[in-house]
Every structure is written in C-alpha cells, then in structure tokens.
Amino acid sequence: MISIIIPVYNEKFQLPGLLEHLKKVSSGNVAEIIIVDGESTDGTAGVVNAEKDLIYIKSERGRPIQMNLGAKRANTDILYFLHADSLPPENFDALIMEEVGKGKIAGCFQMKFDKDHWWLNLMGYFTKVNHISCRGGDQSLFIQKDLFDEIGGFDESYMIYEDNEIAGRLFKRKQFTIIKSWLTTSARLYERMGVWNTQLLFAEIYWKRRLGASAEELYSHYCKRINS
C-alpha cells in the first residue's frame, strides 16, 4: 500500500481539485493521504478539515522539511511525494505498485504541462528520458520507505532544488526509474513570470548547482529572481 505525502503552502484553491482527482484515478492501493501544511495563511487547513480520511500535519515552512515530516508519519512501505498542483495519471497507484514489485523501488512519472506552448511541450517530452537533468519535483516521486530512510530523506538545507538533489543521490545508486505514463502539472509559475523568464531562472539554478553553489546560494538567487 501507498502513503501519499502532499506538502502545501497556501493551496486553498488548488488542493480540492487534486483531492477529487486522486479519488477518481486511484485503483485502491492508497492507504493514506498526508497533508503537511507549512504555515499556510489562506485557510488551507479548512479545506483539509472538510475532507474525510485525511491526515493533517502542521509543519515549519519548507518543502523538504514538510516532506520528511510526512514520511515519518507514514504507515506504509511505499511513499509517494506529490505537489499540490500535479495530477497523476489514471491508476497511478497500481502503476507504482507494479514497478516496486519488479524491484524498481524509486522513480517518477513522465510529465506534461496544462498549458499548450511549444517550449513547455518540448520540456515535457524530455521527461521521458531517464537522466538527472530531466528530473523535477513536479513529476512526483515514489520511493520505498526503507530506501528513503537509508539515504536520509530529503536534504533540508535545500529550500529549493530538493527534489533534484534527492534524485541525484538515487541516480548514483542506479535506483531510479521512469513510469511511462503522463502526470499533468500546472504551468502557473510560467504564466506568472513568463515562459522564457521562468526557463532562464531554472537554467540558472541548474548551472549554479553544477558549478558548486551552496543550497543557501541557490535559494537566495531564486528568491531574488522570483520577487523581482
């Protein structure tokens, strides 16, 4: 069985759609959905409280902190980390269980955006490639709990890029697979900043990391650009 862990911050309007989607596309392998709220101020807690059979945890803000906290609370052998604006494919849970049954104990889905733009379509196409440069948190992450604990979970110093960092460690261990089904994620940041400005920011973060920038430097650069 699977524990879905969703880190949220001010997702009052996004979360209901995701929860309804999960009900429709799950094939019965989800044991629990854990919402880890990083100090939301928009009434996200009220959305969760209105739903049945959800686990709600308050947390310090910071996605890696929130996801690690959710993992500690989880009661199953398989963890599935999912962003609030990403919609997994039909029977996603059965697909994950099938991969784990074959010994592929960590990985993600292919990803496409909910916005039709040639560049975003191209970026989505490349998520089919099993290479670290094609990975991102919006693709979600499934991982066997024993492996997650063994590698120490998410590095909480990475307030951004945390998903790429943990994927990098899994790639080094040759323990990462891509499920050939499409997850759909929101292009809301691209719509807010513009496609090219957003892509430039991601490229800057990627190359700063490759050239040795610290987690703190990456976050500082991200905040400066996102708020400019």
The CATH number covering residue 80 comes to 3.90.550.10
The confidence band for 188, taking pLDDT boundaries of 50, 70 and 90, is: very high
Judge whether residue 137 has pLDDT over 90.
no
Give the Cα separation of 83 and 104 in Å (integer).
22
Residue 164 and residue 92 share a domain:
yes
User: Could you report the per-residue pLDDT of 17-48, keeping only the tens digit for each?
Assistant: 999 999 999 999 999 999 999 999 999 999 88
The confidence band for 101, taking pLDDT boundaries of 50, 70 and 90, is: very high
Average pLDDT over residues 64-74: 98
Residue 147 and residue 45 share a domain:
yes
Residue 192 and residue 130 share a domain:
no
The confidence band for 201, taking pLDDT boundaries of 50, 70 and 90, is: very high
In percent, the amount of the chain with pLDDT more than 70 equals 100
Residue 195 and residue 130 share a domain:
no
State both tokens at 127. Answer: 């998520």
Residue 150 and residue 208 share a domain:
no
Residue 215 and residue 129 share a domain:
no
Burial class (CB in 10 A: 0-12, 13-18, 19+), 87: buried
Judge whether residue 136 has pLDDT over 90.
no
User: Could you report the per-residue pLDDT of 145-173, keeping only the tens digit for each?
Assistant: 999 999 999 999 999 999 999 999 999 99
What's the total number of domains in the chain?
2
Instruction: Kindly report the backbone phi and psi dihedral angles of residue 153, in degrees, each rounded to the nearest multiple of 5, phi listed first.
Output: 70, -160
Residue 119 and residue 84 share a domain:
yes
Q: Per-residue DSSP letters for 4-57?
A: EEEEESS-TTTHHHHHHHHHHH--S-EEEEEEEE-S--SSHHHHHHTSSSEEEE
Residue 147 and residue 88 share a domain:
yes
The confidence band for 53, taking pLDDT boundaries of 50, 70 and 90, is: confident
Residue 131 and residue 200 share a domain:
no
Give the structural domain span for 195.
188-228
Residue 137 and residue 207 share a domain:
no
Average pLDDT over residues 84-112: 97
Give the Cα separation of 171 and 61 in Å (integer).
27
Judge whether residue 228 has pLDDT over 80.
no
Q: What is the pLDDT of residue 10?
A: 96
Q: What is the pLDDT of residue 27?
A: 96
Residue 75 and residue 13 share a domain:
yes
Residue 117 and residue 199 share a domain:
no
Query: Residue 136 in contact with residue 206, Cβ under 8 Å?
Result: no
